[in-house]
Homo-oligomer: A and B are copies of this chain.
């Protein structure tokens, strides 16, 4: 029974046990405080804690989608321990843990940490979901085959994911020439924000298969909306257009899992963590809306 003299536990959305106990929860949040391959500005390892902290500052009713996602039950796992032997080992650990949770019937939400954590999460879902496609929000192509001596560097994230499922990216506005050429050669559908605006959410969503894994590097947002990322870029997406796209995708596809990554709290105002929390919460609602 709840004792009103105390605040709720500081899990995602600050939920009392009735809505956060593991057994009753439909959703499991996996915080992964990892940023060991970051090459620029560091600190995304503090992202998951900042999102969870900010999530207590949200109202539990999301007026924008007229839902109360917490009623699904949301259990927050402890933070994943960092594997410091190297990123390959860390990605393997993430894949393993995410896989266990999927197998236990949970809808898994992975909170980064650097975008690399998405490789493990996407692999776990791809292995268990035939015909999966991936919708990636990202400012950067992330299509290098290797970077700073590792194929598991954050700059290789979408390349690694594209090896297990087809990727459609939205928000692109930063790439090396070689990456750009590679994308064109491969015929990948990577949309810059203005291209996306010309295309519209429906036409983009139509390119996805029935089952979709969603990976969200927060730098897809315009840097006025989201400064707290390692590679903030102007000319990006705004809240309403992201929200509309997510809504459109969720209506016609089954979102099987998602991640939200790259929040680096020290690089921007707390409002950025608040936005990341609200995005995560809304995505839970949209993905599991009946």
Contacts and interface: CB of A to CB of B under 8 A. Distances in A.
Nearest to A82: B148
Contacts of A192: 63-64
A114 B234 CA distance: 23
B235 A78 contact: no
What's the interface size class on A, roughly? 35 or more
A57 B35 contact: no
B7 A79 contact: yes
A202 to B, nearest CB: 19
Nearest to A147: B84
A280 interface: no
A176 interface: yes
Say whether chain A's binding surface is mostly helix, strand, loop, or mixed: loop
Nearest to A153: B84
Contacts of A77: 6
A89 B87 CA distance: 12
A152 B6 CA distance: 20
A235 B240 contact: yes
Interface string A1-12: 000111111100
A278 B234 contact: yes
State the number of copies, please: 6
A59 to B, nearest CB: 5
Given A6-B77, A274-B233, A63 B224 contact: no
A231 B57 contact: yes
A232 interface: yes
Contacts of A234: 225, 239, 275, 278
Interface stretch (A122-130, A245-253, A264-272): A264-272
A222 interface: yes
A45 interface: yes
A43 to B, nearest CB: 6
A97 B176 CA distance: 29
21 contacts: A4-B81, A6-B80, A6-B81, A7-B78, A59-B174, A59-B175, A63-B172, A82-B148, A83-B149, A83-B150, A84-B87, A86-B86, A86-B88, A86-B89, A86-B150, A223-B271, A231-B274, A232-B271, A234-B275, A267-B269, A268-B269
